[in-house]
Amino acid sequence: MSMNKKLITIALFACTFMGAVEITIVTTAIPSIVKDLSGFNLSSYVFSIYLLTYAIATTVFGKLSDFYGRKRLLQFSIVIFLIGSLMCGLSGSMPFLIFSRAIQGLGSGAITTLTMATIGDVFAIEERAKIQGYNSTVWSIASLIAPVLGGAILMKFSWHWVFLINIPVGLLSIYFIEKSYHTVDSKSDEKLDVKGLAVLTIAISCMIHAMSSLEKNSFFSFNVLGFLSISLVLMAIFYKIEKSAESPVLPYKLFSKEILIIMIICFLNAMILIAMDVYNPSFMQSVQGYKPIISAVPIVPMSVFWVLSSFALSRIISKYTTRTILMMSLLILDLGLFGLVMLRPQSSPLIMALASAVIGFGFGGSFNMLLFIVQETLAKEDIGVASGSVMFIRTLGEILGISAFGLIVNHSISSYFQKIGLTVDTGSILANKALQKSDVVQALFGGYNIIYITCFLVGGACVLLTLLLPSKKKIGNY
């Protein structure tokens, strides 16, 4: 690998690190923030507004990069993110912090999409698998250390520095991109489909609002079913607009049968991934009683084997069909998920570690293949919007997944205690000293076990969906 490529890689990894850290580090700082700014009732908006603008940016900036090139737009996105981070760090009220988080999420979504698209531009297929694997590992490691980093910062400094630490990393990324990313960013005469973009933005906003409201409202309430219906109607309007648009936000090829199947699998995979990130460490702490440091057991093997899978993928990607590789990756993923289904409160941490390693190997193959298939199916000039579309679907999968799984756990806990004649507040179950520890463990285990079973079934559905894909295609032979 040339020195220029190494510097670009460092810059892209730094971008990924910033985005991943910012998603999870705030969870450590939020108690201090809401106490300092007297805004406990607004704390949820600190997260939801970030995800909203993040999801919108993944679609918009991918398309813009196809028009105007990726180098300058990536640098501009980093600047947006740094401005948002600076504003967050200087916030003196909750409304201003929420507004700042919206700007930060916009920059983060753009960076994530443009990073993936740049990897597709700069690296050949064989290198791309390795780089994407490394990139995923950077994301996992950053997510893992972010809460620890946040705790350390809060011990020595104020919560403001949780946001300000991004600034030197971002400036370094801009410098490396300027020095090593040599490309001609030609300006296109095409105009952005503003009408389609506006309809899509409103549709996404309504969909995310419905998903975010599902945990506290009935499905048949206006906040959920009403906004979901509005979103579906707007998506139908968006589809009609895109069919006749001169330069659509999403290329018409994205609505082909093959790409739709890939997007559905990507959506379901993202649901499984968010469950692994959130509930595996929690299972070890809350159900099995291990200390927080031991809860890294599920994360580390998954990250390591994700990278190993990417190395293996780079060697076989041109030898087997895309359907074969994707199906085998998903089968391996589902095998690991079956291992989690068999977990019990008294199970050894080695079982969790082994299952997580198998799951990581499956994720490394499936997520990379899903992105490769979309990038290779569309034309070179659409690679930005292809990457943005994949990230958008992943974000929606994670948002819906965390809402759905949260409902499953809460319902399971409530049902368990109702059966033994108790009514409990699920939000304070771990702090409720009036409850028997054995009952708490069994209630939580029941909820987590249902999540693992659900993920196993979703993984099986993904395997079946691959049967609908063309059977003779190989990367590079489209």
pLDDT digits (tens, 9 = 90+) for 437-447: 888 888 889 99
Give the residue-averaged pLDDT of 147-172.
83
Q: For 403-422, how does the pLDDT look when each residue is reduced to its tens digit (9 = 90+)?
A: 778 778 878 888 888 888 87
Burial label for 257, CB within 10 Å (0-12, 13-18, 19+), is exposed
Give the rounded distance of the alpha carbon of 40 from its chain centre.
26
| pLDDT for the residue numbered 478 | 39
466 falls in which pLDDT band (50, 70, 90)? very high
Kindly list the distances between the CA atom of residue 67 and the CA atoms of 55, 117, 226, 378, 392, in Å, as whole numbers in the listed order.
Answer: 20, 13, 36, 15, 19
Residue type, 381: E
Question: In Å, what is the CA distance from 60 to each residue of 65, 197, 198, 388?
Answer: 9, 8, 10, 8
- Give residue 359's pLDDT: 95
The secondary structure of residue 186, as a DSSP letter, is P
Q: By C-alpha distance, which of 172, 167, 202, 166 is closest to 21?
A: 166
Residues 6+ apart with CB under 8 A from 362: 309, 329, 330, 331, 332, 333, 334, 335, 336
C-alpha distance from residue 471 to each of 26, 313, 323, 474 (Å): 44, 18, 6, 9
Q: What is the mean pLDDT of the chain?
A: 82
Which residue, among 158, 47, 61, has the nearest Cα to 105 in the 3D structure? 47
CA–CA distance, 352 with 345 (Å, rounded to integer): 11
Do 384 and 77 form a contact (C-beta atoms < 8 A)? no
- Identify the residue with better confidence: 288 or 31: 288
d(CA 195, CA 242): 9
Residue from 423, 429, 379, 437 nearest 409 by CA = 429
Tell me the pLDDT band of 451, cut-offs 50, 70 and 90. very high
Lowest average pLDDT, out of 58-67, 75-84, 210-219, 316-325, goes to 210-219
pLDDT digits 0-9 by tens, 328-384: 999 999 999 999 999 999 999 899 999 999 999 999 889 888 888 887 777 666 666
Closest to 146 measured CA to CA, from 129, 134, 162, 170: 162
The answer to whether residues 362 and 308 touch, using CB atoms and an 8 Å cutoff, is no
Give the C-alpha separation, 397 to 390, whole Å: 11
pLDDT digits (tens, 9 = 90+) for 282-296: 788 778 887 756 766
417, two tokens = 């205690």
Ordered DSSP codes for 79-100:
HHHHHHHHHHHT--SHHHHHHH
pLDDT (0 to 100) of residue 337: 97
Q: Residues 144-170: what's their mean pLDDT?
A: 81
Q: Tokens representing 75?
A: 């640098």
d(CA 471, CA 267): 21
Q: Which residues have a Cβ under 8 Å from the Cβ of 208 and sit 6 or more positions away?
A: 48, 51, 52, 55, 396, 399
CA 431-433-436 angle, to 5 degrees, is 115
**What's the number of CA atoms in the CB half-sphere (13 Å) around residue 180?**
20
